[in-house]
Structures are given as structure tokens and as C-alpha cells.
A and B are shown apart, each in its own frame.
Chain A
Amino acid sequence: MSQLSVVFKRELASYFATPLAYVFIVIFLVLAGSFAFFFGGFFQNGQADLKAFFNYHPWLYLFLVPALSMRLWAEERKSGTLELLMTLPISLRDMVLGKYLAAWVFTGIALFLTFPMWFTVNYLGDPDNGVILGSYVGSWFMAGAMLAVGSCISACTKNQVIAFILTVVVCFLMMVSGMDIVMGWVPGWMADWVMESIAALSFLTHFNAFAKGVLDLRDIVYFCIMIVGWLMATAIVIDMKKAS
């Protein structure tokens, strides 16, 4: 068994060993359902699609994913188990990736458990299931990208609360970059490509592309770059902290 899968399994099992998994999943499901029905007006709209459901995912993740990711490294660091981990014959890469994948798969499980929504909409009418599939994939990728951000920030601090708040802030900025709220701050003399790339960083635009029902390679690659980039940053931060 490779080291990666050992870390992955240990980590995933640890979620279910504590009430964390239960609390997270229940809150996610209740909120996702409530938002779709009460705020999104899913039933009143009378339209057989899950827009009312997926529209709230980014905002749900904004608070739930940091809650999940804050403990990834900060907890180990505080309890001193990080040093212990470092002495084990496991490469840094496997450790970062294993922990991250466990968290990502965990959000996938939570997302999967929203399947009654899919049954509901198929019972009520004749939805475009391609669009729904695309939305699910996009939603999962977005959760993954946010987790990667959270992983890096969690590695930076011992304090889980600080990790949580910082992750929320950074994810929020990543989400709205490209919108007026961010672009208004970018000085007008900046080169076009800087503006372009800031706009291209937005989670929301890429998620919305998925939610249309189109799996565009660019959107997939974007999320992959985000995940890989933030995970590499995580590794660098951990290594720097270790050195100091």
C-alpha cells in the first residue's frame, strides 16, 4: 500500500471517528435543502431544474469548507503531532495530498447525499440531467479549490479560528474577483493582462460555466491549477515552518 493511500485512509477515517463528519454533513444538507426551497423558491418556480439549488452552493461552501479545512494542519501543529508526522517515513507530498484528498472526497460524500434533490426534480418534471450533472461536477470542483486554499492557510497558523476567518476572506475574494467589487480597486493603468488574469481567477465564473451543462477543458484545467497551486504552496509553507 502506498504512503499516499495510508494517509488518505487514516485521514478519511478520522472524520468519521469524531462527530465532525456527522455535524458537517447534516448542516450542509439542511442548509442546501432549505436554501433551495425557501430562498431559491424551488417549488414555487415550477421549473424542472436545480438552479435554485446550485445557486447557493458557492455561498454555502464559503463558510462550510473553511470549517472543514481549518483543522487540516492547524490542529496537528497545535497538538504537536505535526512533528511526529514529519518523523514518519512519509514524503511531504503524500502527506499534503493524502490529507487534501480525504477532505475533498469527504465533501464529495456530502454532495452525493443531496441526491434526494435529483430524485425530486426528476419526479416533478423532465429536467435536463446533463445540466444537473455538469452542475454537480462544477460544485465539487469548486469545493475542491476552496479546500486547497484552506489547506494552505491552515498550514500557516496554529490557530484554527484564524485559519477559518482567513480562508473565508481569501475564498470570498477569489469568488468575487472579476466583479465590480474587486475590479473597482484595481488601478486603471494596470496592464490588460493583469486585469484579465485577475478576472480569470474567479471561482464563480468557472462554476457558472459548469452549471450551464458544459464541461469545458479550460474550466477543469483552471480548477486543477488552483488545487495544485495551493497544495504546492501548502507544502512550501509546511517546509518553511519546519525549517524555522
Chain B
Amino acid sequence: MRVSKWFSGAGLVVLAVVVLFSTLFTDWLFKGARVDLTEGGLYTLSDGSKNIVAGLERPLELYFFFSDSTTKEALGWRSYAKQVRELLEEYVLASNGKITLTVIDPEPFSEDEDRAAAFGLQAAPIGNSGDSVYFGLVAQYGELVEGATPEENERATLQIPFFKPDRQEFLEYDIAKMIYQVSQERKPRVALIAGLEVDGGFNMMMRQPTQPWFTVAQVKQLFDVTTLGNDEDEIANEDYDLLVVIHPKELTQQTLFAIDQYVLRGGHALFFVDPYAEQSQGAASKASDDLNKLFNAWGVDVSTSEFIGDAQLALQVSGANGQPMRHLGILQLSDQNLARDNQIVSQLETLHLSTAGYLKPVEKATTEMIALMKSTQYAMPIVSSKLDMMQDPRALGVGFNPTGEEYVLAATVRGQVKTAFPDGVPVSEGEASSEDAPTPEATVESADDPSAEAKPAEYLQESVKPINVIIVADTDVLTDRLWVQVQQFFGQSMATPFADNGDFFFNSVDMLSGSGDLISIRGQGRYFRPFTVVKEMQREAEARFQNVEQDLQNQLEQVEQQLLQLQSQQGEAGNTITLTPEVEAQLMQFQQQKLKIRKQLRDVQHQLNKDIEQLDFTLKLINIALVPVLLTLLVVGVAVYRRRKR
């Protein structure tokens, strides 16, 4: 009898309340109990994060600001905020008490709101109501001393001003980076020599300033970057942990010597050179041969007049009329082309390179050249002057004949080397002009350097320890257009990457200048999982039709030429109104030929997509109809069987 009491209207109400409450309670009762099925363990604290947290020497305070009260209706934002909070709690757990977390709801017109603003967090209008919402994180590193003045208690502070929705995949990395950054007592120091406008410049054509390269801007956040001129006399190892050289033009002999000595003294260096840097025009786009003097001394030769075209890696770009076509010089590298055992590239998914050169070891090299990126065997070097007047990327396909060799596009070079300047210090141009006959192109810029004369006795003939440099035969890899879209979001530039170029640059700088923990976190998210089968089909179809298409194109041009000639002859004769029957017949014939060729061309283009459309159709058929049809057969079969049995 007691049981039946529950079986009543009151029982239903009680049940509803119990269900409501238990859904609420489970939300905080079972926190953190989950199985992460994703490939990279996207939602689990990675070892890199744990290492960074373990490396904390002093207490770290995290303030998580989220406008809880003003986002009641914005469910999407609330669940994102919950994810952030839980991840932060994981950090707290992993830190053994080093990290403390304070969650703050900055209600409008409250002291907390002022605090959020003072920390530099940004409020964004969200949802229909348009209320300003704070959703950011502040980290403060170091202990607070009781009774000390505010100045003495000045602690390293960093913030994530706003958690943007499309960074959700990189949440852990962003937080780890902030923790790492704020806890760095001293940032690694990087010297930068750049011949391109990496910090932004001015576009003469568009008449507007250009943005700094995102790769470089990103590195500047975490490293202490000093930009050096191209006339350095000395690069001191004590001042810099790493030297980055990006496509320098006209390096003076002094600078080359300085780089040589820097590397011989054991300084790490990272070089980007390019047979054809698309970012600069004219002569400046060509690589300077000067660096090869150094590279040759280090046992490597970098092509300066040829770039690698690769039929397998060619990326699809949109042509002049907007139709898609593959550009042999723009390469999309993935797993197979990257050294899987190298920490810099092992985590990367996709890299985009444009008109990259190639590296090869010189004879009797004393160093080891370890490839980081390679082309496929469907590649061949193409003379870079072909690019100068190129209108249509398909022109690169003419005469393209893969050599069957895999070309090295980037490599680490290690080993003992001798100086590239066995004859001693080159005399600076300023001094040369004062002593010898003045050369017309000599500019007086680095004269009056008293140390130059004292140096010969000091310079190194060979490396004091094995050198460690990375040479990448492409500079375009660093430019935004190949890997990232930068947009303005509430006054902040927001980056949406579509390739890992940024990570590659960052990893290289990070590795060569010391720390490597961030690398393991980066590149966990895989945002690019293409249909490999479809891509392969595209490539094959294009290879098949490219020659046919080229032939037809040539024919068409010929016919058009003949047509034009005929018309101009007609014009010269001053006989524009009446045509002789022969000429008329010829004209007609040409025109018909032209139409025919054009139709053939259209057919060829149509053929290109035919296989893929066929695949699309087949898959639709399999997925929509196959099982239902099989089931129907089964049902009919069973029915017939039963009837017979009867």
C-alpha cells in the first residue's frame, strides 16, 4: 500500500523535482570524469602543459572573468565559459598549489567590472540584448609581500582580453602560452635581420600601409626581438640566443663575416632564403648569392635561380577568371613531406610554401644535412625567371617533367665547420674607399670603426663546437597569405589559420632559442582533414588533361591569329564591305574551327570534374539507397520464403 502512494499525481510532481535537481547536481558532482576519444586528446591537459606548470617557481594567480549574470540566455557562451573554467581547474590541480584560481562575475557598474577594465580585459556585446560581456583571463606571477608598497609588489601580469569562439580548439595552447610567458623571468633574445618588410610597410599599388607579418608579430610576443641592420660588424653571442635571417638583400661583407663568426662561436641561427620572394618586386625578389658563401662553408648549397615545382603537392589556387587551377610552385606539404622524428615539424599538419628553392649538400661537406621538409618525387626545379612575366600559373606545366628525385626544401645543418673567410676580415667599404681607389657604388656607412683593424687576431678559423643552424629555402612560408586570415574583432586582430606555417616558424625559434614545452601543445588541433582520395583524383585528372588542354589552347591561339591576320589584310586592301568568295569561305572556316576548338576545350574542362562527380554520385547512392534496397530485398525474400513454406 505504501508503494502505491507514489503512483499518483503527487508522485509525478515529486519525480519532476527530483529529476530537475539531479540534472543540476550532476553538473558539479561528476566534474572532470570523462573519456577523451579525440585523436590528439584535444580535451585533456597535455604533458607540455604539465611541464610548464611544474616549472613554475613562484605562485601564480589566475583571475577568470566571466559575466555570468548577463549571459543567462547565451547558452553557447556559457558552455564555452564552462569549458574554460574546467580547463583552468585542471591546471590548478596539476600545479600542486602553485596556481590559485579566482572566478569573478563582473556585473555591470560593479567594482569587479572596473577591475576587469583596469586589467585591460575587453567587453563585447553578445546575444540579442547586446549586453557587454566580459570573458577573459588575467595571470599574475610572483608573491605579494605584506606591507610592501604597490610598486614593490609590481608583479608580472598578462591577460587574454577575450576568449574568441574560433580559438576554442586552441584553448589549452593559449592558456599554456600565457602561463609560460608570464612566468618567464627573462625572455629569450632573438636578433633579426630581414630584407623584406616583415614589420609592415607601404603598398605603393594600393596606397595603404601593409600589416606586419603575423609570424613575426607572434614571435615578438614571446621573445625579445631586436632588429639588426644589414651592416652589422658584430653579433654577440652573449646578447642573443638566436639569430634569424629573412631574405637579406645586399649584406655587406662585414655582416656576413659577423654571421660567420657568430655561428662559429656556437650561436644558433635560422635562415629563410628564397629564389623568388613574392613579397618584394623586381630585382629585390631574387635571392642574394652572398649567403651561399656561408652556406657552402657549412656544407650546403641553396638554389638561387631555380624553384621546385611539384605535381603531387601543387596547391589549388583560383585563376584569373576565378576557376580553380593548380599552381605547380605553391606547395602544400603534409605528413609525408615533413620529418616525423623532428620535434619542430612532427606535430604539424599542413605547410604551405611558395616557389621554394632547394638545398643540396656540397662535396666534401663536414656537416650533416638533416631534411625537415622534402618534395615528392614528382618534382623538378624550374628556372625562377619564368615567374617574372607569368600571367597564368598553368604556364608552369609546359615542359614539366618530374625528375624522380625528392628535393630538400628545408634542413637542419649540424657539424664542425671552418670559416667562410679563411683570408681574414674583409675590409669595410668605408675604409676601402679611403685607402684604395674609391668605387662608385661604395657608400660611406660603416666607416670610422676602430675595432675593424684590431679584429684579425681575434677571429675564429673554425667552429668551437658543432654548429646548429636551420636553413629554409623559402620566405613566402612566413607571409600571411599562405597560412592565416587576420581579421579585426572588437579592435583586436584575430587570426584564423588554415595551415601550420606560423607554428613552424614559432617552433623553430622556440627550439633553437631554448624551451620546447609549448611545442607539444601546439598543433594538437587538426583543422584540416581533406578527402585525400578526391585530391588524388583531381591531380591525376589534371595530369591527364593538361597536355590535351595545352594543345587545344595553342591551336585556338593559332586560329585566332590567322583570323586576325585575314581581317587586317582585308582592312589594308580597303575592301571592308565586299569580300571575295575565297576569303569569305576561309573566314567562315576559321570561325567554325574556332568554335569547334572552344567546344573541345569546354569538354576537356568538363572531363576534369567528371570522375569526381561520378564518385559523389556513387557515394550518394551507397549511403542513401544501398542499405534500403538490400533491406527491401531481404523483406521480399523472407515474404516469399514464408509463402512457399505455407
Residues of A that sit less than 8 Å from B by CB = 19, 22, 25-26, 29-30, 33-34, 36-37, 43, 46-49, 113-114, 116-117, 120, 123-131, 133-134, 178-180, 183-184, 192-193, 195-197, 199-202, 205, 209, 212-218, 221-222, 225-226, 229, 232-233, 235-237, 239-240, 243
Contact = CB atoms under 8 A, between A and B. Distances in A.
Given A46-B530, A125-B531, A202 B75 contact: yes
Interface in B499-537: 526, 529-534
Contacts of A240: 7-9
A61 to B, nearest CB: 18
A214 B8 contact: no
B624 interface: yes
Contacts of A34: 624
Given A22-B631, A236-B8, A212 B529 contact: no
Contact of B631 (A26, A36, A126, A222): A26
Nearest to A45: B531
18 contacts: A26-B632, A34-B624, A37-B619, A37-B623, A113-B627, A114-B623, A116-B622, A116-B626, A126-B529, A130-B36, A179-B75, A183-B75, A192-B72, A197-B20, A197-B24, A199-B78, A214-B38, A229-B18
B37 A130 contact: yes
A232 B22 CA distance: 15
B451 interface: no
Nearest to B22: A225
A196 B622 contact: no
Contacts of A25: 628, 631
Given A43-B619, A131-B38, A240-B9, A184 B73 contact: yes
B624 A48 contact: no
A200 to B, nearest CB: 5
Contacts of B488: none
Interface string B24-39: 1011011101111111
5 nearest A-B pairs in the assembled complex, by CB-CB distance:
A130-B37, A33-B624, A239-B7, A217-B33, A229-B19
A48 B532 CA distance: 9
Contacts of A49: 529
Contacts of B29: 218
B14 to A, nearest CB: 10
Given A128-B529, A205-B75, A216-B34, A30 B619 contact: no
Contacts of B37: 130-131, 133-134, 213-215
B402 to A, nearest CB: 25
B43 interface: yes
Nearest to A128: B39
Interface in B545-570: none
A235 B11 CA distance: 11
A236 B128 contact: no
B34 A124 contact: no
A34 B620 CA distance: 8
B79 interface: yes
B583 interface: no
Given A22-B631, A33-B623, A240-B7, A128 B73 contact: no
A200 B529 contact: no
B625 interface: yes
Given A46-B530, A113-B627, 6 more contacts: A26-B628, A26-B631, A130-B39, A209-B79, A214-B36, A236-B7
Interface string B48-82: 00000000000000000000000011010011000
Interface residues of B, number: 57
Contacts of B7: 235-236, 239-240, 243
Contacts of B620: 33, 37, 43
B72 A43 contact: no
B532 A126 contact: yes
Nearest to A210: B37
Interface string B156-192: 0000000000000000000000000000000000000
Contacts of A212: 38, 42-43
B415 interface: no
Interface of B: 4, 6-9, 11-12, 15-16, 18-24, 26-27, 29-31, 33-39, 42-43, 72-73, 75, 78-79, 127-128, 526, 529-534, 616, 619-620, 622-628, 631-632, 635
B34 A217 contact: yes
A200 B12 contact: no
Given A236-B6, A243-B7, A124 B534 contact: yes
B187 to A, nearest CB: 35
A196 B79 CA distance: 12
Contact of B15 (A179, A229, A243): A229
Nearest to B11: A236
A128 B42 CA distance: 11
Nearest to B72: A195
Contact of A214 (B43, B75, B625, B627): B43
Nearest to A200: B23
Contacts of B78: 199
B532 A218 contact: no
Nearest to A44: B616
Contacts of A117: 623
A236 B23 contact: no
Contacts of A180: 73, 127-128
A35 B487 CA distance: 32
Nearest to B612: A43
Given A34-B624, A43-B616, A212-B43, A236 B15 contact: yes
Nearest to B73: A183
Given A123-B533, A133-B37, A197 B23 contact: yes
B19 A29 contact: no
A125 B15 contact: no
A202 B78 CA distance: 13
Contacts of B6: 236
Contacts of B616: 43
Nearest to A232: B15
A138 to B, nearest CB: 11
Contact of A199 (B12, B16, B75, B628): B75
Contacts of A209: 79
Contact of B24 (A47, A130, A183, A196): A196
Contacts of B128: 180
A233 B13 CA distance: 10
Contacts of B628: 25-26, 29-30
